[in-house]
Amino acid sequence: MVEREDLSIPERVQKEVFEQRTHYRFGRTELIPKKAQVVETDVDFSKILDLQEGDYVTIGGAGFLPFNALLPRRTIFLERPETVGGENYYLEIKGYGANGRELYPNKHDEGDLFYGMFFDFARREYDYPKILRDKGIENVQYPIALLKFDDLDFFSGALCGFEKLIKSRLLLWGPGPVDRVRNGVSKLFPEYEASIKELVKNRDEDFAKLLGKKTALAFFEVFSRSGREGLKQLVRKTGLEDELAGICDGREFGYAIRAVKSPFRVGDLHDEKIVTEKNKKIAKKIGETVRKMLELGFWHLTPNPGNWTTEGELVDFEDVISYPSQFSEAEDDMRRRKIKTLEKYVRFCFGRGTIGYLTGEFQEGFMGEKTSTKVVIGQTLEILEELKAKS
């Protein structure tokens, strides 16, 4: 293999990223190696994982999904559990890419990166549970490490995702964003304009794949040479704002590694089968935990059963806000869900809209006794008002 220093950045990326694809099936996956810098790490786990703050590391190898997901996930478990303090922990990487493979440079509908993470959200995944564990709340995810991608390394990891995104949109029928992508690619490669117009009719997947790859490399070459400003100029010229919204956002990129005693979740809030005696106890414990968090100023906006492990641990701290300083994020969520009042939003967060079939048990844990959604709403609003007054 030609040494990295003998290749230009686009050539190196083409060789290392596009030619070394891996795939997952039946719940297993091979992580595509991605270089990142260790920003912070847990003392005990750093010895096991050989992570030193400030070092650049590349994580790869075998991982697994806790179930056979039809759609990719942005969380992936390392295949081998680690033992710390006599306990077995499964290590989960969040924000590493679709099933541990490629990243994407666009955003999903909740404003974060598609299958990746902005660094400030990765920091939240690391910092908030650490603060809570220091305050005696132990049934939350164990933060292991916080890592940050350099911009070029992130875009390198996102090239395959960008290629797939362009390819899929070139092959779609219909106006709107589909026409916009075709027009944008035509502006990049005017010599292909006539062929692009015929692409859907011919269903030429190979040609669409070629255009996706050429488009990704063209944007990356501009980015590597001229940075975000050069990229933004090309985005304006081509109209591919949505497809590159994550990189054009101006924020940094990263991922978090967390540890849990169980890689399995209680389940879908809409599935009545999750109502078991064990899960009822977990729901009460989670309700108690969410209440303690709230009183400390940390509001979990999505404490649903999909974020509870079967060992009673609460995860997904990207969706935890510090109240009231980060309340604008809750307001954004309210707008997405078309919820107009704080009272109705609290009902959604701590009622059946989020907790589902285990709402009664969750609320019992939240209040310390059997109760109703109305009482939970009233208590929550009081806590929020007290936090606001102290700020």
Site of tokens 């040494």: 3
Mean pLDDT, range 222-246, rounded to an integer: 95
Tell me the β-bridge partners of 34.
59
pLDDT of residue 276: 96
Q: Residue 206: is its pLDDT beyond 60?
A: yes
Lowest mean pLDDT among 82-86, 117-121, 255-259: 82-86
Question: What's the DSSP call for residue 31?
Answer: E
Lowest mean pLDDT among 31-35, 53-57, 136-140: 31-35
Lowest mean pLDDT among 69-73, 80-84, 113-117: 69-73
Tell me the β-bridge partners of 118.
253
Highest mean pLDDT among 97-106, 162-171, 377-386: 377-386
pLDDT of residue 8: 52
- Tally of CA atoms within 13 A in the half-sphere of 313 that contains its CB: 22
pTM over 0.85: yes
Question: What's the DSSP call for residue 17?
Answer: I
Domain boundaries, the chain: 1-263, 272-390
Distance CA 335, CA 124 (A): 22
